[in-house]
Amino acid sequence: MPVNSNLIDWSSTFMCGIKIIDEQHKGLVDLVNDMFNHVTEDEEQEQKYLNKVINEAVNYIKVHFATEEKIMDATKYQGYAEHKNEHIKFIMTVIEHVEKFNSEKRISLMSFSKFLKEWILSHIAVVDRQYFVYFKEKASRKADGSLSISLEDGEEVLYSSANPGGF
Ligand SMILES: [Fe+2]
Ligand SMILES: [Fe+2]
Which tens digit of pLDDT belongs to each residue from 62-100? 999 999 999 999 999 999 999 999 999 999 999 998 888
Domain spanning 14-158, CATH architecture: Up-down Bundle (1.20)
133 CA from centroid of ligand 1 (Å): 14
Angstrom CA distances, 6 to 13, 30, 57, 71, 114, stand at 17, 9, 18, 30, 12
Give yes or no for residue 153 having a pLDDT over 90.
Answer: no
CB contact burial 46-85 (16+ within 10 A = b; e otherwise): beebbeeebeebeebbeebbebbebbbebbebeebeebbe
- Residue 36 Cα to ligand 1 middle (Å): 20
Q: Note the ligand closest to the C-alpha atom of 80.
A: 2
Predicted local confidence at residue 163, as pLDDT: 61
Helix or strand (DSSP H, E) at 121: helix 109-122
Show me where the domains of the chain are located.
14-158
Find the ligand nearest to 130 CA: 2
Please tell me the total number of residues recorded for the chain in this structure: 167
The whole-model pTM stands at 0.92
